[in-house]
């Protein structure tokens, strides 16, 4: 557990250093602007809007950020260094999953609040977001492992996201 705790700390620092939190803030700001501009009738349809919002935002934050972090770690030589350390691949994936799912959850709660208010079944919603975050992070890492760069991954990922992620 101590290895995972240290990995969580370093993963948060890596994400902050590389602007992932700024990117998340931009996504929240942009989507909040779009949600605020929707007619009032849409704001009262949370049964339709919240699941779509949760699915879309979790795909962006967990799937694409996980793939991007994996490619970043590969480029910086971090994966090679981890390969010769006592740190396991499971610890690496656990840290990525926890940090990205937490980030996606915070973003999504803010977006739900802006778009639909705070009247929701929060235990069920948070459990679903955690499950989706775990799934999307795993898919993002598995897709990202196949490519050498983010640019090479973007077009195939645009096919993978609707196929895999929308089936959850």
Mind listing the pLDDT tens digit of every residue in the chain (168 residues)? 677 788 889 889 989 998 989 999 998 999 899 888 888 877 777 777 788 888 888 888 898 889 888 888 888 887 778 777 777 788 888 989 999 999 999 999 998 888 888 887 889 999 999 999 999 999 888 888 888 887 788 777 777 666 655 554
Predicted TM-score (pTM) of the model is: 0.85
Secondary structure (H, E, C), the chain: CHHHHHHHHHHHHHHHHCCHHHHHHHHHHHHHHHHHCCCHHHHCCHHHHHHHHHHHHHHHHHHHHHHHHHHHHHHHCHHHHHHCCCCCHHHHHHHHHHHHHHHHHHHHHHHHHHHHCCCCCHHHHHHHHHHHHHHHHHHHHHHHCCCCCHHHHHHHHHHHHHHHHHHC
């Amino acid at each position: 557990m101590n290895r995972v705790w240290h990995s969580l700390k370093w993963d948060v620092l890596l994400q902050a250093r590389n602007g992932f939190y700024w990117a998340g803030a931009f996504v929240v700001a942009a989507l909040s602007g779009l949600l605020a501009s929707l007619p009032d009738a849409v704001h009262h349809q949370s049964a339709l809007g919240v699941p779509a919002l949760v699915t879309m935002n979790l795909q962006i934050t967990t799937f694409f950020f996980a793939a991007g972090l994996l490619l970043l770690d590969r480029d910086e030589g971090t994966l090679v260094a981890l390969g010769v350390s006592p740190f396991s691949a499971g610890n690496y994936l656990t840290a990525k999953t926890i940090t990205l799912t937490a980030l996606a959850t915070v973003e999504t709660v803010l977006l739900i609040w802006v778009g639909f208010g705070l009247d929701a079944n929060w235990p069920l919603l948070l459990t679903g977001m955690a499950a989706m975050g775990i799934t999307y992070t795993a898919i993002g890492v598995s897709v990202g492992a196949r490519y050498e760069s983010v640019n090479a991954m973007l077009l195939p990922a645009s096919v993978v996201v609707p196929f895999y992620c929308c089936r959850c």
